[in-house]
Structure 1
Amino acid sequence: MRVVSLVPSLTEAVAGTLPGVLAGATEWCTHPADLEVTRIGGTKNPRLDRILALAPDLVIANEEENRAPDLDALRGAGLEVLVTEVRNVPQAFAELDRVLTACGAEGRPRWLEEAGAAWDALPEPVERRTAVVPIWRRPWMVLGRDTFAGDVLARLGVDHLYADHRDRYPRVPLDELCAAAPELVVLPDEPYRFTAEDGPEAFPGPPCALVSGRHLTWYGPSLVEAPRVLAEALRAARR
């Protein structure tokens, strides 16, 4: 089995479960750190010629991270493309099972069992806080409706204020974000690399939680540590 991954989360999942199966991955596939495969460009602009040259048995992708025209072109060239959809934590586990099985795994790997146990053991939050969750600036963009990261935060007691927005990642002016009066601002370090200075500079009122983007938005082996790592970062953000 030869697999090309167009999704960093899935790259980490496959590489950690089935060593030697991955033939290619994107430049954004940074985990595992010692991964040695052919790099085929970015998630939004993959080098289709490089993918075809690798002659993979399967290309794994995601409906949000990858562009439909690229996936259609790969199918048109005769490649099998598995497209995942991940909008919440249960769906992440279901899609990981599907991907790993398609890549040749026999049964669930240990890390996935541990991740399931970690999320099943997550206690009911003793308090809930409202938040805005920027993912980009210049222009400012935040989590909107129906996102995996939004579901992760909700399970940890954080309800982001744009969960009912018509867009999944709306552009919202900074003055409007501040006027929404969130009790917390959650700043991930990817896709935009927010730093500790970004919060007080842009949001002088509420406390800011700087969190690991990998633990907030990736659905792979990071799911094992995500409940603990994110909960600690959120607890540390108090007025």
Structure 2
Amino acid sequence: MSPAARVVSLVPSLTEAVAVTAPGLLVGATDWCSHPSDLDVVRIGGTKNPDVAAVIALRPDLVIANEEENRAPDLAELRAAGIEVLVTEVRTVDQAFGELDRVLRACGIPGRPRWLDEAEEAWAAVDASGPPLTAVVPIWRRPWMVLGRDTFAGDLLARLGVRQVYAAHPERYPRVPLDELRTAGADLVVLPDEPYRFTRDDGPEAFPGTAAALVSGRHLTWYGPSLAEAPQVLARELRAAHR
């Protein structure tokens, strides 16, 4: 793969990773790519419903995507138009570091950015030797959906000493009735502010008697520069809920 001069990102995490490392390389990103806040590129729709024609019109050398966040038919259409598409798979923290390296190399970025070294150092220093917590981790309501097996966010929480109740579920994001979630025996319910925007008034009230941690979805689910501060931010938010 030749180094790319024009890149379109279909993944918010990867958008931030490329934008802070090589400003000016990105020419397009999704409507959900909110970091960095001053990103000035063409917006090409959502991660699940990108305007494929708009992407093609930008004449990118490379489109970066993710097997979970983006739809295979959209990526196939881009490839059919002669565009190089790099598809990442990120289901663990270690895998995130490897895929970030691969993406940045494919973009022709020389060397290794300092933020990536800092992120690896931050996670290597995590001490999860205290008593483990069990948690239910909703990502949506109406219907209720939670983290199941084999997810990046689940691996990240496990490294912080939080075991999710549905980690062995056959589905990665199972739908579970609220009554079952309430009686799952969790010490904690972890409520991120994305993809569903859980707030103090919309989420904790569904779990009376269970401590609720409202956490940063960007630090829980994004794999990019936010990984460097994620251990500290999430540990603080989890501790505040389970005192």
**TM class by shorter-chain length?**
over 0.9
Matched residues in 2 for 1:226 and 1:108: separation? Answer: 20
In 2, the alpha carbon distance for the partners of 1:38 and 1:124 equals: 42
User: 1:203 maps to what in 2?
Assistant: 207
Which of 146, 158, 181 aligns to 2:185? It is 181
- Matches of 2:22 and 2:124, distance apart in 1: 25
- In the alignment, structure 1 residue 73 sits paired with structure 2 residue 73: no
Name the aligned partner's letter for residue 15 of structure 2: T
| Counterpart residue type for residue 118 of structure 2 | E
Q: Which residue of 1 aligns with 2:158?
A: 154
| Structure 1 unmatched runs, 5+ | none
Separation in 2, partners of 1:27, 1:139 = 24
Q: Where does residue 61 of structure 2 map in the other structure?
A: 57
Matches within 5 A, 1:12-23: 12-23=16-27
d(CA) in 1 for partners of 2:81, 2:204: 50
CA distance in 2, matches of 1:229, 1:185: 17
Q: Deviations over 1:92-119 (max 9, x none)?
A: 0000000000001112101111111111
**2:87 maps to what in 1?**
83
Q: Deviations over 1:49-84 (max 9, x none)?
A: 100000000000000000000001100111000000
Q: Distance in 2 between matches of 1:182 and 1:196?
A: 19
Residues 140, 172 of structure 1: 8 Å contact kept? yes
1:43 alignment partner, one of 47, 56, 72: 47
Identity %: 74
Distance 1:63 1:200 in 2: 31
TM-score, normalization by structure 1:
0.98
Residue 32 (structure 2) pairs with residue 28 (structure 1): yes
TM-score scaled to structure 2, two decimals? 0.97
**Greater mean alpha carbon deviation, residues 17-26 or residues 119-128:** 119-128
Deviation at 1:238, TM superposition (A): 2.1
Give the aligned residue type for 1:147: T
| Unmatched 5+ stretches in structure 2 | none
Give distance in 2, aligned partners of 1:238 and 1:193.
21
2:136 maps to which residue?
132
Q: Secondary structure at the match of 2:232?
A: helix
Name the count of aligned residue pairs: 239
Per-residue CA deviation, residues 152-181 of structure 1 (Å, 9 max, x unaligned), is: 100001000000111110000100101112
Letter of the aligned partner of 2:195 in structure 1? P
Deviations 1:122-177 (A, max 9, x none): 11331101110000000000000000000010000100000011111000010010
Q: Is 166-175 or 190-199 further displaced after alignment? A: 190-199
Measure the CA separation in 2 of the matches of 1:107 and 1:138.
45
Q: Post-superposition, which runs of at least 4 consecutive aligned residues in structure 1 deviate over 2 A?
A: 197-200
Offset from partner CA, 1:28-61 (integer Å, 9 cap, x none): 0000000000000000000011000000000000
Task: Report the Cα distance in structure 2 between the residues aligned to 1:125 and 1:42, rounded to whole angstroms.
Answer: 40
Question: RMSD of the alignment, in Å?
Answer: 0.8
Q: Is 2:174 the counterpart of 1:170?
A: yes
* 1:94 aligned onto 2:98: yes
How many Å separate the matches in 2 of 1:200 and 1:233? 14
TM-superposed deviation, 1:226: 0.0
Question: Structure 1 residue 236 and structure 2 residue 240: aligned?
Answer: yes
Contact 1:185 1:199 in 2 (8 A): no
SS of match in other structure, 2:38: coil
